Amino acid sequence: MSTNQFSTFWVDERLYGVNIKMVQEITKSMNVTEVPLAPTYIKGLINLRGQIATAVGLRELFDIKPSNAENGKINVVCKSESYLLSLVVDEVGDVLELDDPLFEMTPETVSPEVSKFMSGVYKLPNNLLSVIDIQKIIDFLNV
């Protein structure tokens, strides 16, 4: 039986995760250079020691209502072969190691705004972990 590790985080009391192999680092809120005329989910560009990452607000991308919380947002910086992406999330969770048999396809009850960026879900004892496919977000941004 094989397992996968996920870096988890919260957006609007919903638990999401990204394969830990895709995560470069997790940082507190950083200076963001706004991009004129960008969609609302593009928060701007972040300079990470000379590497430029696109900051994407998951609330806006997933069409979730804005937060009233005053606490700073967290950046989950993810990497692909040619792209650096910072997911702006509400709160960081734990690293979870999950067995493949717990994995299921994305339920039809998940909104299309979210499900198009997911690879599936893991049913946990007290929650549901929605797995985000970073490459799907990168492909969407590069349309």
What does the pLDDT read at residue 117?
A: 97
CA–CA separation, 7 and 41 (whole Å):
21
Domain 3-141 is in which class?
A: mainly beta
Percent of the chain with pLDDT over 90: 82
Q: Is the pLDDT of residue 70 over 70?
A: no
Mean of the per-residue pLDDT values of the chain: 92
Q: Give domain limits for the chain.
A: 3-141
